[in-house]
Amino acid sequence: YLKSKVKSNDSKFIEGFVSTSLVICVGAMAIVGSFQDGLLHDPSVLISKAVMDFVIVMVFASTLGVGTIFSAIPIFVYQGLLTVCASFLAPYFTTIMISNISFVGSVLIFAVGTNLCFHTKIKVGNLLPAVFMPLLLALFM
């Protein structure tokens, strides 16, 4: 949909958009930084992450094209929702749960890297809800 609205002829538009969005969204800093901002009103981790994300997006843009720029949309929505929801979910967050969420995010980033390096077809976008499984497990245990 986005590619048709932008009217881009870039053959790697979708790959750039999805790869960049996943690499930036599923990282531990995105989750922990959003929680820290929502719970403690301390955006220092998100600011550091933004600087690193800028470099990542520029590298991805040089190889995957203009689609990487539009990854800012889901990143803003994702991190914004995590930050807003953090205050409501504060009683359920434990150190172990945040570690487990970070671990799942790291595995997903590894899968994205595998796709980029070895041209595999792991559908990481379909696995993205797994990041929230530690939270669901904590609610039912």
Q: Is residue 5 part of a domain?
A: no
Q: Is residue 6 part of a domain?
A: no
pLDDT band at 119 (very low <50, low <70, confident <90, very high): confident
Q: Is residue 128 part of a domain?
A: yes
**Mean pLDDT estimate for the chain:** 85
Distance (Å, whole) CA 68 – CA 66: 5
The predicted model gives 95-117 an average pLDDT of 83
The total number of structural domains in the chain stands at 1
Q: Is residue 3 part of a domain?
A: no
Q: Is residue 2 part of a domain?
A: no
What's the whole-model pTM score?
0.70
pLDDT at 128: 81
Q: What is the pLDDT of residues 30-85, one digit of tens each?
A: 887 888 888 888 898 899 889 989 998 999 999 888 889 888 999 999 999 989 98
Distance (Å, whole) CA 9 – CA 104: 35
Position with higher pLDDT, 7 vs 99? 99
Q: Is residue 4 part of a domain?
A: no
Decide: 60 and 48 in contact? Cβ < 8 Å: no
Q: Is residue 98 part of a domain?
A: yes
The predicted model gives 101-120 an average pLDDT of 84
pLDDT band at 99 (very low <50, low <70, confident <90, very high): confident
CA dihedral 108, 6, 9, 114 (to 10 degrees): 0
Distance (Å, whole) CA 86 – CA 28: 15
Query: Which domain, by its residues, includes 48?
Result: 11-140
Q: Is residue 32 part of a domain?
A: yes
